[in-house]
Amino acid sequence: MLKTTPFHERTAALCASHAWRRWAGHVVASSYELTHEREYHVIRAAAALFDVSPLYKYRVEGRDAARLLDLVVPRNVLKAEIGQVLYTPWCDHAGKVIDDGTVARLGEGLFRITSAEPNLRWLEDNAAGMDLEIADVSDSIAALSLQGPMAWSILESLGAPPLKYFRITSARIRNTPVEISRTGYTGDVGFEIWMDRASALPVWDALIEVGQAYGIMPAGMLALDLARIEAGLMLIDVDYVPARKALIDSQLSSPYELDLGWTVDLAKERFIGRDALAKEKARGAQWQFVGIELEWHSLERLYAEVGLATRLPSAAWRMSVPIYSGGEQVGYATSGGWSPLLKKYIALAHLRAPWFALGTSLEMEITVEHRRKRAAARVVKKPFFDPPRKRA
Amino acid sequence: MTDAIVIGAEADGLAAAHQIMRAGRSVVVVQEHAPQAHTEGWVPRAIAMPGVVMDLPDPWLRAVLPAGGVLELWQDVRRSAEAIRRLSVQDAGKWPEFCERMAKLARLLEDLYLAPPPSLVDLRFAFKIRRLGRMGMEDLMRLLPMPAAELLDDWFESDALKGALGALAVRDLQQGPRSAGTAFRLLHFHVGNPAGVFRPPVSNYGALARSGVNVRQAQVQRINVRAGQATGVMLASGEEMRARFILSAADPRRTLVDLVEPGWLDPDLVRALRHVRARGVAARLDVELERAPEWKTLTLAPSLDYVERAYDDAKYARVSTHPCLDAIADGPRVHVRFQYAPYGAQGDVAGAVAKLLPPIKKVAVQSPLELEQSYGWPEGQPHHAELSLDQALWTRPRPELSGYRSPIKGLWLCGPAMHPGAGVAGASGYNCARALLRTL
Amino acid sequence: MKAYDAIIVGGGHNGLACAAYLARAGRKVLVLERRERVGGAALSEEVFPGFRFSVFSYVVSLLRPEIIRELELPRHGLQILPLESTLTPLANGDHLAQWSDHDQNCRELARHSPRDAEAYDEFGLLLHRMARAVKPLLSTAPPDPASLDPRELLDLLRLGRYFRRLPEKDLHALWKLLTMSAADYLDEWFESEALKGTKSASGIIGTLLGPRSPGTAYVLLHHYMGELDGVFRAWGFAKGGNGSVSAAIAAAAQAHGADIRTQAPVAKIALRGDRAVGVVLENGEELRAATIVSGADPRRTFLGLVGEAYLPGDFVAAIQRYKFRGSSGKVNLALSELPRFSCMPEPGRHLRGAISISPSVDYLERAYDDAKYGEISRRPYMDIVIPSVLDPSMAPPGKHVMSIFVQYAPYHVNGGWSDAKREQFGDTVIDTLAEYAPNLKSAILHRQVITPADIERIVGLAEGNIFQGELTLQQMFFLRPAPAWSRYRTPIHGLYQCGSGTHPGGGVMGASGRNAAMAILGARA
């Protein structure tokens, strides 16, 4: 049987679409309403509530906790302040990405790391001989993500303290102890709320109750997928193959190739994958993960040729789509869709050098009336949507 | 600053030091453990120095027969055949041919042992094997993965002969003679010996090689690494010694996992090193008899089933109720090997020995645990990595490390866990030092 | 009398496959089967009224998909139903279930060990890579490394090149798999005893080796081989029992024009000089063909049907050395109701899969300890399926058939096999299983106990070895069944082998039969 999250009692009652999807062995709602449209707009207009409990979560505590995490991830964990959250990928010895997630420093020697894949064995093996304890708290900690311009107002009404971008703090929601971090997967202003499994439902209820006045709505994975593409955020198994699942070398990616070079701190003497990454940096990455935007006129013309109005995907897609320059395939897009907010057809793509340079003109394959065509596209800046409120 | 620091002052460390000195470089050998009285194993000519004496009793094997009497195997093949004839006319007839065919295969290994291991897909190695001719090639290919018991059953019918040879094949191995890959070990320990002798000799190589080398007694606490390059060692006293190269004859797990700080090595390699099998299975006893026995050696391993049953106990972490025993006498002092006494298992070791030997005056037992403490043998395993087929040749101790060079620049592995290791005295150290010198 | 190009001795699945391929290529082929029906050890029989059994082999593990495709076996009635799970009941009332659904499987593994659940995927990935590396060898006639024949040398070089192209780390991983024991190999990955026990069990099937014996790790690969061919699970059950596999191949052979004669036991292979010219049946009838293919095991083929006197001495010695050492038996039960396993008493999905009595590596090793010294395992390893759950036509409505594969029951049992020994063996199996499924004894309507001696007597497999010879490293690839004679040819011109005793051998796979046909046709597989 699949697992259900601590919020399942609530989410199941709300899931009018009966559209569920799997996430790390759990069932979660794809959308609550019959279409995900309203759920998407609520992210950008009010506040959307996501159940993100299926994330893997590990608590690392002890004298060497910072040392271990600093060894495992390419970002500098030793320098992280208490209450700071770092987004980071992590790599194998060859500098290829295994997973990505957040590292939250909850205390001097207390961290919580979240990940998309199980990482207990990896953490434990690398911690041999260190003075620390690693606990898998994936099932015991429930997590909600409250995203959108009204998110802060809702939390404020519940008495939460103000919080800066990528910070975490302890708080109480109606007397239930929680941790709130200003993080998320939508590229908007947003928070993630972490709590014991046992107190999951009261927190959900409190947020929904107070949130009514601010237009809160539970939202599912379809809406989230669109938002994260607009935010230019990659998704494991969709946009990259984690090193442990790669069957052949060409499926591997380094942080540099995923546009995560900024997370790699080569000033650190030691971390897993450092040597390989230093070499890659010196060489220059041969691939880059970029945003591309399809040109509306080109799309319109391709459809007009067969007598149709332009057809757009109603939800985000996740598959491999070839990208060309001239006659040559120079890369592939891995997720994309129509941004209802930007009114643009956008996609995230892996491109070879030199085609990943900003502004490069490309063509992306699309299927128009059963025929493969190529629509004009160009490399644009990521995130596609980056409101100042996100960090404000 | 010296050119090289060698960790470990037994045959391999010393052989490495001598090679480096011969190339005109300076060496300090750090001796962490009490020196062993003898060096076990054949000393290849390239490694031996004037004065090295290999000691092999003649008869080299005296196996106690359950019905009374002994089976004696001599360095002279025909004389052994005569002794075997008393047990089986058929076996006596086959003995010379067996010895000849084994010797032929052993010579192939001999060539391989004084060089880094061949690659699994090395064509030169393949051609060398083809030169053995059809029979030799078939022998080798069948023999490598074979259980010693099967090989011996193919040739012989005498339980006493098969039992004694079977016990030699599984020496210091957590397997029994019915386990695949043990026939290869019979061959391995045959290398360097005259035809018909399957027991490795002991020598004074270690004692001799220690003189003339700068040996320091100290405990290594850490191998210092800066920017991926080994820079020296830190001793337990806190003193730092610097060198361009570190050659470690300590076992690879201790060298790379315990002595090197985490983060320098591929975590997958660290995981693999934790899985290098090094299970000590033999206790050693130093016995003083009332008076010197009239024999030089005595073996108790009366049949393959006997040895296999002794192993059965070890599988479940028990000391063998009916162990394989092997004694070598030097006057009234007798050195006895007791197999199987698994690492950490409790059991009566001295009692079984007392039953075999004439009246005993004094006995001192060293269990694998104590051997680990005395000599730094991981889990009491003298070969540092069990010599099984998956930890031999190109995969000794792990394929990533089989070329002696560790992933850390300037840090080399030269102990018995490296190819060929396991009782070829000094060969791992010799090969390692030569591989290192070739890079200069 | 009809003239034949080829006569196949033995109508087992490999003999039939070989016949089908030869007939498909236009040869006139005759299959001679000793028994009243074809199938060899892949046989379905109504042993008790209303209850049909796959009497001997009982699952389809590795039947080559190309054979199903090329011989169009589904058209001839073959359907393979997947076995979806493996349930390992434990003595403490708990269990370990391995499910085909990844998430469900992970969750169950994590219940025993989160580390194991995590390692499982990585392990699977590595074995998948290994299986990919090995797979081309299955359909290759192994070249003789000592040969001077230019064609074989070319094959040898091609093989060498193939291996040199593999990444070195894959080669080393393969070497480890070939040389290690299943127990040591699994210890590097997992910590849960039940998982290691159940996984290592696949390494000991058909051998007289224990999970701690080196060389048993290799068979772990076989479980992953199927996945490469687009088979969801490696293990399946043929609708109608394993006899339907033989029946479908036989039908395919006949559709291509092959003749099949049953109750036609072959007494010897007729020779003229060093050339096979035909066969002589036990009733004295002589049949002629330029090509004789034997599906019988190597001992029966060479020492029985040909005769030592006509073969080179070193070849005879090699065949005499070739190890069979049958170690497994079978208990087939007709049941009045489904078994209720204490760990999962309700009828459910778990009964649609395999049930494995393999709670730990030590359990299996102890079972082996008994066999090593010639005793039946006091507490044997069992692999159980209940075919009637998957295919209700196997038993009367509401009733069931249960197939229990048991190891170890050594062929060379102390005192030899007798009727009393057979019953003792049957009792041991039932008593052990009843500890896990208490209602078993009262549910038994009939039982059929098959010992290795029975397998030898009925099917003709030497020493009752289900693989026509142990699948150990020294009896594999170019050493199977004898060095220099691994390419389906024999020292007798015109005589070929196509049984499981040739490369790759093992299980209801059909690859030996197909490869032999390709060798005879002179085509590259």
Looking at residue B139, its pLDDT comes to 80
Q: Measured between CB atoms, does B257 come within 8 Å of chain A?
A: yes
The answer to whether B271 faces chain A, any CB pair under 8 Å, is yes
Q: Is C106 on the interface with A (CB under 8 A)?
A: yes
Interface check B388 vs C, CB under 8 A: yes
Task: Please give the interface size between A and C, counted as residue pairs whose CB atoms are below 8 Å apart.
Answer: 32
In the numeric block, which tokens belong to residue C330? 């079978």
Q: Are B141 and C483 in contact (CB under 8 A)?
A: yes
Report, as an integer, the average pLDDT of B420-437: 93
Between chains, do B267 and A125 touch, taking CB under 8 Å as contact? Answer: yes
- The answer to whether residue A121 neighbours chain C at the CB level (below 8 Å) is yes
Q: In angstroms, rounded to a whole number, what is the distance separating the alpha carbons of residues C455 and C466?
A: 8
CB contact under 8 A, A2 and C114: no
* Sign of the dihedral defined by the CA atoms of residues B195, B199, B200, B204, in that order: negative
Helix orientation angle between B89-113 and B148-155, rounded to the nearest 10 degrees: 140
Query: Rounded to a whole number, what is the distance in Å from the CA of B47 to chain A's nearest CA?
Result: 38
Contacts of B265 in chain A (CB under 8 A): 93
Q: In the sheet that C381-385 helps form, which strands lie side by side, from edge to edge?
A: C95-99, C85-89, C354-357, C381-385, C400-407, C328-335, C444-450
Residues from chain A contacting residue B228 (CB–CB below 8 Å): 275
- Chains sharing 3 or more CB pairs under 8 A with chain C: A, B
Is the Cβ of A244 closer than 8 Å to some Cβ of chain C? yes
CA distance A271 to chain B (A): 6
CA of A272 vs chain B CAs: smallest distance (Å): 6
- CB distance B33 to B375 below 8 Å: yes
pLDDT at C231: 52
* Interface with B, mutate which of A93, A121, A123, A265 (most B CBs under 10 A): A93
Verify whether the Cβ–Cβ distance B268 to A128 is below 8 Å.
no
Q: Which residues of A touch B (CB under 8 A)?
A: 71, 92-94, 122, 125-126, 128-130, 269-272, 275
pLDDT < 70 regions, chain C: 1, 223, 226-234, 523-525
B307: chain C residues, CB-CB within 8 Å: none
Contact C303, C269 (CB under 8 A): no
Q: Encoding tokens for residue B245?
A: 């190269």
Residue that the structure tokens 């032929």 belong to = B104
Instruction: Please give the sequence-ordered ranges of beta strands (E in DSSP) within C273-347, or none if there are none.
Output: 275-281, 286-288, 291-294, 328-335
Which residue of chain B has the CA closest to A69?
Answer: B263
Q: What is the DSSP letter of C245?
A: H
Q: What is the pLDDT of residue B270?
A: 93
* The pLDDT value given to residue B335: 95
Q: Residue with structure tokens 């800046």?
A: A381
Which of C103, C121, C129 is nearest residue A25 as measured by Cβ atoms? C103
Choose among A185, A230, A239, A232: nearest CA to A339. Answer: A230
Does A92 contact B264 at a Cβ distance shorter than 8 Å? no
Distance CA A157, CA A211 (A): 9
Q: Is residue B303 within 8 angstroms of chain C, CB to CB? A: no
pLDDT in tens, A105-142: 999 999 999 999 999 999 999 998 899 999 999 999 99
Quote the minimal CA–CA distance from B275 to chain A in Å: 12
Best interface-test mutation with C: which of B128, B139, B141, B155 has the largest number of C CBs within 10 A?
B141
**Shortest alpha-carbon distance between residue A32 and chain C (Å):** 23
Nearest residue of A to residue C108, measured between CA atoms: A1
Give the residue-averaged pLDDT of B346-351: 91
A267 and chain C: CB distance < 8 Å anywhere?
A: no
Strand order in the sheet with A56-61: A85-91, A97-107, A110-115, A56-61, A133-136
Is residue B256 within 8 A of residue B400, CB to CB? The reply is no
Residues of chain A short of pLDDT 70, as ranges, are: none
Among B170, B313, B389, pick the best mutation site for testing chain C contact (most C Cβ within 10 A). B389
Give the C-alpha separation, C455 to B206, whole Å: 59
State the smallest CA–CA distance between residue C222 and chain A in angstroms. 18
Tell me what pLDDT residue C525 has.
Answer: 37
Interface test with A, best of B225, B266, B408 (most A CBs within 10 A): B266
Q: What are B291's two structure tokens? A: 């008076």
**Residue A300 structure tokens:** 């319109």
Inspect the interface and report whether the beta carbons of A122 and B267 lie closer than 8 Å. yes
Identify which of C244, C263, C247, C250 has the alpha carbon closest to the alpha carbon of residue C23: C250
**C102 to chain A: closest CA residue:** A25
CA-nearest residue of chain C to A3? C107
At CA C375, angle to CA C374 and CA C378, rounded to 5? 155
Task: Tell me what pLDDT residue C175 has.
Answer: 86
Give the mean pLDDT of B97-103.
Answer: 95
| Average pLDDT for chain B | 93
For C114, the closest of A2, A136, A245 (CB atoms) is: A136
Look at residue C232 in the predicted model and tell me its pLDDT.
46
| Angstrom distance (rounded) from CA C484 to CA C491 | 10
Model confidence at B35, in pLDDT bands (50, 70, 90)? very high
Taking CB atoms and an 8 Å limit, are A272 and B228 in contact across chains?
no
CA dihedral C29, C32, C37, C39 (to 10 degrees): -70
Could you tell me the sign of the dihedral formed by the alpha carbons of B349, B351, B356, B362, in that order? positive
CA distance C148 to chain A (A): 37
Phi, psi of C127 (to 5 degrees): -70, -30
Test C479 with B141 for CB contact under 8 angstroms.
yes
Say yes or no for a CB contact (<8 Å) between C125 and A245: yes
Minimal Cβ distance to B271: which of A94, A125, A272: A125
Which residues from chain C sit within 8 angstroms of residue A244, using beta carbons? 121-122, 125
Comparing CB atoms, the residue among B261, B266, B274 nearest residue A93 is B266
- CA A382 – CA B295 distance, rounded (Å): 86
Between the CA atoms of C124, C127, C129 and C134, what dihedral angle is there, to the nearest 10 degrees? -150
Question: B283 φ, ψ to 5°?
Answer: -95, 155
Q: What is the pTM of this model?
A: 0.94
Q: Which residue is closest to B184 within chain C, CA to CA? A: C179
HSE-CB of C389 using CA atoms within 13 angstroms:
21
Residues B262-284: pLDDT tens digits? 889 999 999 999 999 999 999 99
- Per CB-CB distance under 8 Å, the chain C contacts of A118 are 114, 117-118
* Record: contact B141-C176, CB cut-off 8 A: no
Chain A residue closest to B262 (CA)?
A: A126
Q: CB–CB of C362 and B130 under 8 A?
A: no
- Which is it for strands C444-450 and C400-407: parallel, antiparallel or unpaired? unpaired
Q: What is the pLDDT, as a whole number, of residue C524?
A: 41
Comparing alpha-carbon positions, the chain A residue that sits nearest to C121 is: A245
Strands (DSSP E) found in C451-523 = 495-497
